[in-house]
Structure 1
Amino acid sequence: MEAKHLMQLAIILDCGSISQAAGKLHISQPTLTKNMQTLEMQAGGSLFTRSRHGVRQTALGGMLAREGRAIATSVWAAEQSATRFGLGMQTELRIGVGPLVASLLMHTVTEALLRDYPSLSLLIQVDTPYRLFEKINDDELDIAVAPTVISASQELDRITLFEDRLAIFASRHHPLAGKERIEIDDLVGYPWVNIATYAKFEESPVERLQKAGLKQVNTHIALAGDATICLNILPTGDYLSIMPERLTNIAAPHYGLQSLPVAADFGERNMHLWYPPALAGDAMLDAVARAFMETLETATAVPPA
């Protein structure tokens, strides 16, 4: 089988039409049809069915199309690497981060790294910790900044960047904001905004709250892949959210938020720099770790009176 035929199959199925796919690929429709006939002969079965509504994949076609998309993604990544190299960016680093780190720290970390390494090319992906670890193991990322995830990080080494704990955040105008001590039952009845509820193999925010003794959690909004939505929503009502305290405190003054003095332990949320053992001793690891530590220290420093 030819890789280009698999990629062409994926485009046909994505377009739903051979003629549209031919136009997108800039080849003639007869040529594309011939290529699919060749691929069907090699695969030993039909790849899609035709009707007046377009084409519909068969089970075999769907499986081969997935491989075609993966090939297309690898080709695109190679083209981007070549382009960056041609522009003088001779060192590439692929970093994965979670949504809160991406929103609050990554822009400053990026500036620091590019200042010290002018020819560095950065590729930054935002995702859940488990997916970031999968991407490192699949060689789609070099490193990831994330907390510990049970069973997902066993093959990776780590550098601890900073320690943190989970806390409950709300608007400064929230009905509970003025209390000196809040019991876990005082949180019942308020709407919650949860980040990373769907993170695989992690305790979700709801599970953390239930573990701390809160039996009723009314999740009105659940987010995956974005933290700024949560930061913007919290000041608009009586919402609550469980978030890393040290990290969220960076943004709290700007958004009018504060952590609530809840008499409960919601657990650690320490942040680490994860990397494959093959990268041990690489100077870039220390550079990235240093950039994160310095950025956090500056962001959380108490201004002089």
Structure 2
Amino acid sequence: MESKHLMQLAIILDCGSISQASGKLHISQPTLTKNMQTLEMQAGGPLFTRSRHGVRQTPLGGVLAREGRAIAKSVWSAEQSATRFGLGMQTELRIGVGPLVASLLMHTITETLLRDHPNLSLLIRVDTPYRLFEQINDDELDIAVAPTVISASQELDKVLLFEDHLAIFASCHHPLSQQKRIEVSDLSHYPWINIATYAKFEESPVERLQKAGLKQVHTHIALAGDAMICLNILPTGEYLSIMPKRVTDIAAPRFGLQSLAVEADFGERNMYLWHPPSLAGDIMLDSVARAFIDTLETAMAK
């Protein structure tokens, strides 16, 4: 079997028709049909069925298409590596971070790492923790800075960077901002902005709020992959948001925010440096960990 035929099969099934796949692959439809006939002969059975609604995979076709997608992903990864090498990124560290850390800390951490390691090139990817862990397992990232996540982190090692906990943030002009004691029930009348609503944490932000006793959470805005939207919108109204306290405190003065004195425990949000076991003892792990810790301590001292 030729790898290109497996990739072509995956494209056909993803597109739903040979004609659409031929346009995407920039090869003629007769050539693509011939390649599939060859693959079927080698595989020993039909790969898909045709109807007026398009093509539908057979069990055999589904299995081979998965292999084709894996090959395509490997080819894409190789092309990206070659591109980065061509740009001079020869000694590379691939770091994944969440949106809040990316917005508030990563620029300083990047400067620190490049100062301490002049020959280092950084690839920084911002995504939800669950997806970052998947990318480490797929060898698309070397390390990730994130909280604990269900199942996806089971095969990775972790180093504690700093302890943190969740708190409720609002504008300094919010009706609750001047109260020294706030009950959970006092939060029920206000709109919420939820960050990472769709990320697979051990418990979602809404679940944390409900566990603390807030029965109704009126979510007006849900965000995935961006934190600056939340930081910019919170001061514009009576919005509330549950966010990690130590990290968000860094941005609070700049955005006119403050944590509310709510009489409730919303749980930990400790931050870890995750890496595959094969990187244990690597000198860059210590460098990245120290850069994060120093950056956070400096920011908190200001």
TM-score, normalization: structure 2? 0.89
The equivalent residue for 1:242 is: 242
The reply to whether residue 228 of structure 1 matches residue 228 of structure 2 is: yes
d(CA) in 2 for partners of 1:48 and 1:172?
A: 62
The equivalent residue for 1:88 is: 88
1:139-176, CA deviations, whole angstroms, 9 ceiling, x for partnerless residues?
A: 33211101123544343222221221110001122111
The equivalent residue for 1:49 is: 50
Count of residues paired in the alignment: 300
Deviates further, 59-68 or 270-279: 59-68
| 1:53-202 correspondence to structure 2 within 5 Å | 55-60=54-59, 61-200=61-200, 202=202
| 1:20-35 correspondence to structure 2 within 5 Å | 20-35=20-35
| 1:271-286 correspondence to structure 2 within 5 Å | 271-286=271-286
Q: Is the 8 A contact 1:172 1:258 kept in 2?
A: yes
- Shift of the 186–124 alpha-carbon distance from structure 1 to 2, 3 Å rule, reads same
d(CA) in 2 for partners of 1:152 and 1:83?
A: 29
Q: Residue 133 of structure 1: CA displacement?
A: 2.5
d(CA) in 1 for partners of 2:70 and 2:173?
A: 49
**AA matched with 1:280:** A
Q: Is the 8 A contact 1:157 1:275 kept in 2?
A: yes
Q: Is the 8 A contact 2:193 2:219 kept in 1?
A: yes
Q: Which consecutive unaligned segments of at least 5 residues does structure 2 have?
A: none
Q: Residue 235 of structure 1: CA displacement?
A: 2.0
Q: Is the 8 A contact 2:46 2:58 kept in 1?
A: no
d(CA) in 2 for partners of 1:181 and 1:193?
A: 22
Counting aligned pairs with the same residue, the percent is 81
Q: Is the 8 A contact 1:49 1:58 kept in 2?
A: no
Q: Is the 8 A contact 1:88 1:119 kept in 2?
A: no
**AA matched with 2:300:** T
d(CA) in 2 for partners of 1:48 and 1:247?
A: 54
Partner secondary structure for residue 246 of structure 2: helix
TM-score, normalization: structure 1? 0.88
- Shift of the 16–148 alpha-carbon distance from structure 1 to 2, 3 Å rule, reads closer
- Shift of the 230–59 alpha-carbon distance from structure 1 to 2, 3 Å rule, reads farther
Partner secondary structure for residue 187 of structure 1: helix
Aligned CA RMSD, in angstroms, stands at 2.3
Partner secondary structure for residue 189 of structure 2: coil
Q: Residue 59 of structure 1: CA displacement?
A: 4.3
Q: Residue 248 of structure 1: CA displacement?
A: 0.9
Q: Is the 8 A contact 2:98 2:146 kept in 1?
A: yes
d(CA) in 2 for partners of 1:155 and 1:15?
A: 34
Q: Residue 134 of structure 1: CA displacement?
A: 3.0
d(CA) in 2 for partners of 1:234 and 1:250?
A: 15
1:223-271, CA deviations, whole angstroms, 9 ceiling, x for partnerless residues?
A: 2222122222222221111000111112222222111111111121111
Q: Residue 19 of structure 1: CA displacement?
A: 4.3
Q: Residue 278 of structure 1: CA displacement?
A: 1.6
d(CA) in 1 for partners of 2:119 and 2:75?
A: 23
d(CA) in 2 for partners of 1:210 and 1:91?
A: 46
Q: Which consecutive unaligned segments of at least 5 residues does structure 1 have?
A: none
1:10-42, CA deviations, whole angstroms, 9 ceiling, x for partnerless residues?
A: 333444553453344343332222111112333
d(CA) in 2 for partners of 1:217 and 1:79?
A: 45
**AA matched with 1:175:** P
Deviates further, 274-283 or 9-18: 9-18
1:31-83, CA deviations, whole angstroms, 9 ceiling, x for partnerless residues?
A: 222111112333411325254x7x33324445543432332121111112123
d(CA) in 2 for partners of 1:47 and 1:130?
A: 33
